[in-house]
Chain A
Amino acid sequence: MEIKAINITKSFKNNLALNSISFDIKGKGIIGYLGPNGAGKTTTLKILSNLVRADYGEAFINGINIKNYKIALKYVSALIDEPEPYDEMTIYEFLEFIGKLREMDKVLIEKRIKKLVNELNLEDINKKCGQLSKGNRQRVVLAAVLLPDTDILLLDEPTSGLDPAEAYDIKKLLKKLKKTKLIILSSHLLNEIKELCDYVILLDKGKVIAQGSVKSIIKKFGSGKGEKGLEMAYINLVRGKHEK
């Protein structure tokens, strides 16, 4: 399992969103993708899932260039920027729709839906998606992301919009998934990053400003221990204190 970015640059009109970022992530576990608003986190994930094309540079999923997205994306499932299911479809229809797009057979789709209904506490799967609350829609979308059981997951603030109990369930699930998958988790919540991630990449103004294990980042740029240490490291990094 590998995600590789080489000198990716992306501009929107005159705004430089990503300025030649590079990273190479291999193996299993959760990689925290951190940075202030507008740092380029979502843009990176969009490039890795072919929702946006890089102006320059290359991205690879398991060694396959993302330009060949029909093959590269078979290994990836992405939850980016609060997606929505189709309002007119029931939860079951929507999950079945995603399963079919992933070329899963009917039996496997049924099996995975059953499993995800339990793991994510989904309500009545015959209910129309348009009738669901924000939290329930988020869980349906997460179920759609997890349905194909891909090796790599790109998750952009997956607990956003969920109440503390729902967020707890998701974090519990992510802890289980990190044993077998490579997950990039973009989040503002430092406690979530500290709790779930083994490695972090910190982004600011479209550039990677630091990357390493959570412990090494705290040791190098922070002060204190645990969440507080990571918070100080984050503040020092985005305020440029590490450069002085």
Chain B
Amino acid sequence: MKNRAFYTFFNAELKLAKSQIIAFSALSFIIVVLTGLLSIKALFNSTDFFESIGLVIWLMIGIAATNVAAGIGVMDFNKRTGLLVLSQPVDRKLIFLSRLFAAFLIVLLPITVLYISGFGIGLLLYKVSIPNIFLSYGLAVLYAFSFTAMIAGISAMSREKSTPLSFGLTFAFLAVFVFAIFSKFIGVQPWFFLPYGGLAISSVMATPYLMHINPGNYFFYYIPYLNEALLIILLYLIIFAVLGIFYYSRREL
């Protein structure tokens, strides 16, 4: 019976996000095609191309997860829908988790489109497959889940959807600056920062082995080792999923 309530919320979330799924998937395909065109124009080698695709995936996960998950913890509290939905005999933890899993699945589709189209265009241009494709995809899946959980957790603590939305987008877009500041000026790896863990997605795609420092064009930045990346991603996932469940279960209307 618990499963039924779980799937009811899960399916409802997927239905409500139908247009977002289509938009992000289409956008993902277009971005990979544009990256391919840029690679031809800029005479990229395959390593440059796949590293770029990896960074696109890394950025797209942040943007998509933020958009999809920002409403999870707040939608029924700042609108009047919760007055009816949350007075049903359904475990609040279950509602939060079903929406979190649905959001994760919604984010997963554009990521898969990015990998398939990146793989296809890579083959077409360079006659080689994405290096470490399964390892990178696995990391991307985990990173997407963790980013989604982080935004959903912040959403459960926020009064308005705009708070997790602006937090997530700032987190995704300003990550590069955080890397630059910590690497160049402080000389410290930003191990406390989720997008730092996510950088492993592109680094395993670009090289057969992991670099720890990327010289970059304008500034060098650290890249996490695989075990570091996994630890950061899993810690964020666990901490924010627990915080999200706690706050969502205790929120009042």
Partners in one complex: yes
Query: Is there a chain B Cβ closer than 8 Å to A187's Cβ?
Result: no
6 residue pairs, one from A and one from B, having the closest CB atoms: A83-B83, A73-B89, A49-B87, A84-B80, A83-B84, A100-B8
- Asked if B12 and A97 sit within 8 Å, CB to CB, the answer is yes
- Say yes or no for B253: interface residue by CB 8 A criterion: yes
- Is A81's CB under 8 angstroms from B83's CB? yes
* Chain A nearest CB, measured from B220 CB (Å): 47
A46 on interface, CB distance cutoff 8 Å: yes
B31 in the interface (beta carbon within 8 A): no
The count of residues in chain B whose C-beta lies closer than 8 Å to any C-beta of chain A is 24
Could you tell me if B83 and A80 are in contact, using CB atoms closer than 8 angstroms?
Answer: yes
Mostly, the A contact residues are mixed
Residue of B nearest to A84 (CB): B80
Shortest A233–chain B CB gap in Å is 31
Chain B residue at smallest Cβ distance from A46: B253
Inside 8 A of A82's CB, which chain B residues have their CB? 80, 83
Chain A CB within 8 A of B5 CB: yes
Are A84 and B79 interface neighbours, CB within 8 A?
yes
* B227 interface hit (Cβ, 8 Å): no
Are A74's CB and B80's CB within 8 A? no
The chain A residue with its CB closest to the CB of B19 is A88
Q: A53 at the A/B interface (Cβ < 8 Å)?
A: yes
Chain A residues whose C-beta falls within 8 Å of the C-beta of B15 in the assembled complex: 88-89, 93
Q: How far is the CA of A53 from the CA of B249 in the complex (A)?
A: 11
Asked if A85 is at the interface of the complex by the 8 Å CB criterion, the answer is yes
Contact A144 B84, CB 8 Å, known A97-B12, A100-B8, A103-B4: yes
Given contacts A51-B87, A73-B87, A86-B16, contact A100 B81 (CB under 8 A): no
Name A's B-contacting residues (CB within 8 A): 46, 49-53, 69-74, 76-86, 88-89, 93, 97-98, 100-103, 141, 144-145
Proximity bits, B237-253, A CB within 8 Å = 1, else 0: 00000000000001011
- Is B48 an interface residue, CB under 8 A from the partner? no
B228 at the interface (CB under 8 A from A): no
What residues of chain A lie closer than 8 Å to B89, measured between beta carbons?
69-74, 102
Give chain A residues whose Cβ lies under 8 Å from the Cβ of B8. Answer: 97, 100-101
Complexed CA–CA distance, A46 and B253 (Å): 8
With contacts A84-B81, A101-B88, A102-B88 known, what are 5 further pairs, Cβ within 8 A? A50-B86, A69-B89, A80-B87, A81-B83, A84-B80
Interchain CA distance A159-B176 in the complex, whole Å: 55
CB <8 Å contact, A52 and B252 = yes
Cross-interface CB contact of A98 among B4, B83, B88, B253, cutoff 8 Å: B88
With A84-B79, A86-B16 as contacts: A50 and B4 at CB distance below 8 Å: no
A10, B205: Cα distance in complex, Å: 57
- With contacts A52-B252, A53-B252, A100-B4 known, is A79 near B88, CB below 8 A? no
Q: Which residues of B contact A78 (CB under 8 A)?
A: 83-84, 87
- Nearest CB of chain A from residue B53's CB, rounded to whole Å: 33
Instruction: Give every chain B residue within 8 A of A69 (Cβ-Cβ).
Output: 89
B1 within 8 A of A: yes
Q: Cβ of B252 and Cβ of A73 under 8 Å apart? A: no
In the complex, whether B90 has a CB less than 8 A from a CB of chain A is yes
19 A-B interface contacts by CB (under 8 A) = A51-B83, A52-B253, A53-B252, A70-B90, A70-B91, A71-B89, A72-B89, A74-B89, A80-B87, A81-B80, A83-B80, A84-B79, A85-B81, A86-B12, A86-B16, A97-B8, A100-B4, A100-B8, A101-B85
Q: Is the CB of A51 within 8 A of B80?
A: no
Give per-residue flags for B1-37: 1 if the beta carbon is below 8 A from chain A beta carbons, else 0. 1001100110010011000000000000000000000
